[in-house]
């Protein structure tokens, strides 16, 4: 996978990197304890990821793409709309702020997808999905270890869906990869 991995990694994990990756750090004998993802940070990261993937799915499902990609993207569009509503409700119930502006990096990714068509768009969308879902699953796994019960419960509810969608994204990638 090409260009977007560093951009997605930077976007989705810059703030969460210590929490998500801390378990692999430290000495060989004793892993470092993971940093707790606070509710506000979790909401920001989860909302950011869901927004990007929703926009990418909308683009891929509305354009000429491979049938497998179009079908996956259409299902993702609905899932992402529902997940965004759930995150918004979660944040509202806890008086947590949602990001008020679109992430610049998201806009760049979407703008780079817009001129693509058929196979190129299909491949780029599949790449973005695999990378974004890997990052998102990492965020939710870290959140599922949170001492904040509301975050833990929310993450535990969403994580199986994300893992299932990751499997679907892998199958989609297998049909379009070079």
27 within domain boundaries: no
* 132/50 Cα distance (integer angstroms): 9
22 within domain boundaries: no
* 174/97 Cα distance (integer angstroms): 38
Number of domains in the chain: 1
Q: Decide if 127 contacts 33 (C-beta within 8 A).
A: no
pTM as predicted: 0.81
Which structural domain, as residue segments, surrounds residue 105?
Answer: 4-13+37-176
* Cβ contacts of 24 within 8 Å, gap of 6 or more: 31
31 within domain boundaries: no
Tokens of 138: 């990492």
For position 34, what pLDDT does the model report?
57
Entry field: residues in the chain = 178
20 within domain boundaries: no
Tens digit of each residue's pLDDT, the chain (178 residues): 444 444 444 444 443 443 343 333 333 444 444 567 899 999 999 999 999 999 999 999 999 899 999 999 999 999 999 999 999 999 999 999 998 877 788 889 999 999 999 999 999 999 999 999 999 999 999 999 999 999 999 999 999 999 999 999 999 999 999 8
The DSSP code for 35 is: P
CATH number at residue 65: 1.20.1260.10
32 within domain boundaries: no
Q: What is the pLDDT of residues 71-92, one digit of tens each?
A: 999 999 999 999 999 999 999 9
47 within domain boundaries: yes
């Amino acid at each position: 996978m090409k260009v977007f991995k560093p951009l997605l990694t930077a976007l989705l994990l810059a703030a969460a990197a210590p929490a998500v990756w801390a378990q692999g750090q430290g000495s060989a004998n004793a892993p470092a304890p993971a940093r707790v993802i606070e509710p506000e940070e979790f909401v920001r990261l989860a909302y950011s990821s869901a927004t990007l993937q929703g926009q990418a799915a909308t683009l891929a499902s509305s354009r000429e793409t491979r049938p497998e990609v179009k079908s996956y993207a259409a299902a993702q569009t609905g899932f992402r709309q529902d997940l965004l509503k759930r995150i918004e409700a979660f944040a509202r119930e806890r008086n947590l702020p949602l990001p008020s502006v679109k992430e610049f990096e998201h806009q760049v990714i979407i703008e780079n997808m817009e001129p693509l068509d058929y196979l190129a768009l299909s491949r780029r969308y599949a790449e973005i999905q695999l990378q974004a879902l890997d990052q998102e699953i990492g965020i939710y796994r870290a959140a599922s270890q949170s001492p904040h019960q509301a975050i833990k419960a929310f993450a535990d509810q969403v994580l199986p869906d994300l893992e299932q969608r990751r499997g679907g994204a892998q199958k989609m990638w297998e049909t379009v990869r070079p």
